[in-house]
Structure 1
Amino acid sequence: MGSSPSLPAWEIRNLANTTGFTSEQIEILHRRFLHLTDGKDTMCKDCFDNIPDLECNPIKSRIVNAFFDKRNLGLQSIGTVDEITFENFLTTLSFFQHMGNSHSKEDLEYYKTEKLRFLFRMYDTNGDGKITLDELREEPDQVYDGITFNDFLKIMQDIKIETKMHVRFLNMDTTAICK
């Protein structure tokens, strides 16, 4: 198995500017992309079957479909494509990356809105700008009557709920309430 073809430096710089990944991360992701595609320039949905972290994810099909959604690829139209390039892969993957505190408040707000728009599109499968109950229930590989507690636990497993879910009763000003 020889070495993987590398990307030109100018392409890495352009991808770094548009996605926020570092040059090193882009090179690693490019090698991973080539591994998943058996060295091809494009990726199909079946290539995602070789990603162990997605195997037991309850929303695997939504995540995979997001990579092929024209709206996430900047094509400004509804529907999907059959294959994606490395640039498409990286663009969609950038929605999943962690945003550190090194960004300005305005940038963080922008990134938050874009991530939420991306997440919204994962569930607005018909692209009409609304998430219906049927879209929430719809999964190509299984149909839900609802989300079970076990499904809920799988979805929420990486959320640090102990630091995110709290109500501040101790610091409340009760003078206005008691009058």
Structure 2
Amino acid sequence: MGVGLSLPGRPVYADMAEKTGFSCHQISVLHKRFKQLSQSKDTLRKEDFEAIPDLAWNPIRTEIITAFFDRRNFRQSAVGKVDEIVFEEFLQVMSHFRPPRLSLTKEQRESVKREKLRFLFNMHDTDNDGTITTEEYRCVVEELLSHNGPQEKTSYIADAAMMEVANTAEEQMEPGGFFAGITFEHFYKLLSGFDIEHKMSLRF
């Protein structure tokens, strides 16, 4: 886990800005929010997220909170869960929700899409075995469509997405083979048509 940063200064902000893409002003605002949630402590624990009203009725509340304590989301080559996080780790997770800049090249936009989908994949690959089940994938599709129209339409598209998974899996499997689950590359291909860059974005 990182080093506690109780009072980040401008040089530290500049380093964090380079790593996360946030401006120094945005980092300052997020640091105030971090201190508010942690009650001015140097670390955040899962129970501190209980104070966020917007999460209270979110259907994937548990998955969102768990994502903040998943080492895979700290932009490091590490796996496993932690019990508490420091501000820099909080900032790294929040950076996955940063809206893409308008000036991005096609390659950069593709990189942003891949990064956000990796974060989404990690949220549902809870046992970190490199795959998610078809039912978990259905939940992902329903989440992405949750604000896009009536529930009947959402269910129809989700069912079509499941059919696509089944067809693709059948094509890739050997005769008598076993479908273990959806890998990240398969997940990325299946969801590449979603506007994930903006669906997974928050204004800071």
Normalised to the residue count of structure 2, the TM-score between the two structures is: 0.64
The answer to whether residue 46 in structure 2 is matched with residue 56 in structure 1 is no
**TM-superposition CA deviations, 1:15-73 (whole Å, max 9, x none):** 11111111111000000100100101100001111111111111011011001001112
Task: Name the CA distance, whole Å, in 2 between partners of 1:79 and 1:47.
Answer: 20
Give me the whole-angstrom Cα distance separating, in 2, the residues matched to 1:75 and 1:101: 26
Which secondary structure state, in structure 2, belongs to the residue aligned with residue 43 of structure 1? strand
1:155/1:38 CA distance change after superposition, 3 Å: farther
Q: Percent identity?
A: 42
What SS does the corresponding residue of 2:88 show, helix, strand or coil? helix
- Counterpart contact for 2:75–2:92, Cα < 8 Å: no
Tell me the CA shift for residue 97 of structure 1: 1.6
Residue in 2 aligned with 1:69? 70
Q: Which of structures 1 and 2 has the larger relative contact order (alpha carbons within 8 angstroms, sep 6+)?
A: 2
Quick one: distance in 2 between partners of 1:154 and 1:80?
25
Structure 1 match to 2:131: 130
1:31 aligns to what?
32
Length, aligned pairs only: 144
Please name the residue that 2:19 is paired with.
18
Please list, as runs of the form range in 1=range in 2, the aligned pairs for 1:136-175 lying within 5 A after superposition: 136=136, 152=142, 156-157=146-147, 159=148
Matched, 1:9 2:10: yes
Measured in 2, the distance between the counterparts of 1:23 and 1:14 equals 9
Deviation at 1:103, TM superposition (A): 1.5
Contact 1:62-1:122 at 8 Å conserved across structures: yes
Shift of 1:74: 3.7
Q: Considering only aligned residues, what root-mean-square deviation do their CA atoms show, in Å?
A: 2.6
In 1, Cα distance between the equivalents of 2:149 and 2:20?
26
In 2, the alpha carbon distance for the partners of 1:153 and 1:70 equals: 23
Comparing 116-125 with 98-107, which one deviates more in the overlay?
98-107
In structure 1, what is the equivalent of residue 115 of structure 2?
Answer: 114
Is 1:58–1:155's contact at 8 Å kept on the other side of the alignment?
A: no
Task: Name structure 2 gaps, 5 residues minimum.
Answer: 1-5, 151-156, 158-204
Partner of 1:100: helix, strand, or coil? Answer: coil
Pick which of 11-20 and 100-109 moved more.
100-109
User: What one-letter code is carried by the residue in structure 1 that aligns with 2:14?
Assistant: R
The DSSP-based 3-state class of the residue aligned with 1:125 is coil
Q: Mapping of 1:84-123 within 5 angstroms? A: 84-123=85-124
Distance in 2, Cα, partners of 1:153 & 1:31: 29
CA gap 1:21/1:160 in 2 versus in 1, 3 angstroms = farther
Structure with the bigger percentage of helix? 2
Change (3 A) 1:153 1:42: closer
Q: State which drifts further: 83-92 or 49-58.
A: 49-58
Q: Determine if contact 1:68/1:84 at 8 Å carries over to the other structure.
A: yes
CA distance in 2, matches of 1:153, 1:133: 14
Say which is worse superposed, 14-23 or 74-83, in terms of deviation. 74-83
- 4+ long deviations beyond 6 Å: none
